[in-house]
Structure 1
């Protein structure tokens, strides 16, 4: 039980850190655009809170075994399936979150939900595309980790390059006459 709790906390930290970097970059970009238009906006707290909330959504989705099909198909199908599933999950939780925050601030549920994703159709589409770009590396890393092992993938990316049996076998086959 203790090992699982430690594992979950580590996953929350890693996912939150990744999402914080992404949301900080997006916040900084939005801030620079608004500043050019004469509007001063720099909500760094937004990036931190949103990354923690979204990381928790991802962990809840994992605990519920959402989108764990397609394990025998090419990795791209598993990654895309997870992206769609988690986008729907995150959108659902975001609607609940925004409605709750709106009620706390005295807004109606309808008014709070209308602001989700920016409010306009274009902003909602842009948000969905950005979420695809945010989730893609996260789910690709997870899918690759399932194939080669999380520790081996981490070590290969961040510590020392490992040779994998399949890659080594392909190189041997292609160099043979």
Structure 2
């Protein structure tokens, strides 16, 4: 895979995650009446970059590769579940590392406060639901080919 293909792949993952985290941030800002949206969007952008890197790490480790022989109806939720566990687990590890390096840093300052079990379960479920369409489109593209996917999504109907 060329450098440009890898960069495009990373930017696609980042863009998808950024869109989801930005909408989540907007929702929280409106519901919680916290109008510092610009600061929160910045945090969502950084979190999307970190999560995109975590997904690339999972891909490099071939997370879910054993499920690739299964039909898409099983493969997509399995990969979504595995990668959501990876994202939450690495996010928790990141929070602990930040707390060890900067003990006075505010927990959850990135918009994802995972200090309780209910918060971890809730965010894990949201991550799973968010990753289902991501892996659905990606695995469909792997099954029918990138050229066919591009044609289906970008070609004008006749």
TM-score by length of 2: 0.85
Identify if the C-alpha distance between structure 1 residues 105 and 61 changes in structure 2 by more than 3 Å, giving closer, same or farther.
same
Paired positions, count: 153
Distance 1:80 1:87 in 2: 10
Aligned to 2:70: 73
Aligned to 2:101: 104
Aligned to 1:28: 26
Structure 1, unmatched stretches of 5+, are 163-177
Identify if the C-alpha distance between structure 1 residues 68 and 128 changes in structure 2 by more than 3 Å, giving closer, same or farther.
same
CA displacement, residues 128-147 of structure 1 (integer Å, 9 cap, x when unaligned)? 12101211111111110111
Distance 1:155 1:131 in 2: 29
Distance 2:156 2:43 in 1: 36
Distance 2:58 2:16 in 1: 17
Aligned to 2:2: 4
Conserved 8 A contact 1:145-1:153: yes
Conserved 8 A contact 2:92-2:114: no
- 1:5-154 alignment to 2 at 5 Å? 5-35=3-33, 39-42=34-37, 43-107=40-104, 117-154=113-150
Q: Which has the larger radius of gyration?
A: 1
TM-score by length of 1: 0.76
Conserved 8 A contact 1:68-1:78: no
Q: Greater CA deviation, 125-134 or 23-32?
A: 125-134
Identify if the C-alpha distance between structure 1 residues 117 and 151 changes in structure 2 by more than 3 Å, giving closer, same or farther.
farther
Structure 2, unmatched stretches of 5+, are none
Identify the structure with bigger relative contact order (alpha carbons < 8 Å, sequence gap 6+). Answer: 2
Identify if the C-alpha distance between structure 1 residues 136 and 117 changes in structure 2 by more than 3 Å, giving closer, same or farther.
farther
C-alpha RMSD of matched pairs (Å):
2.4
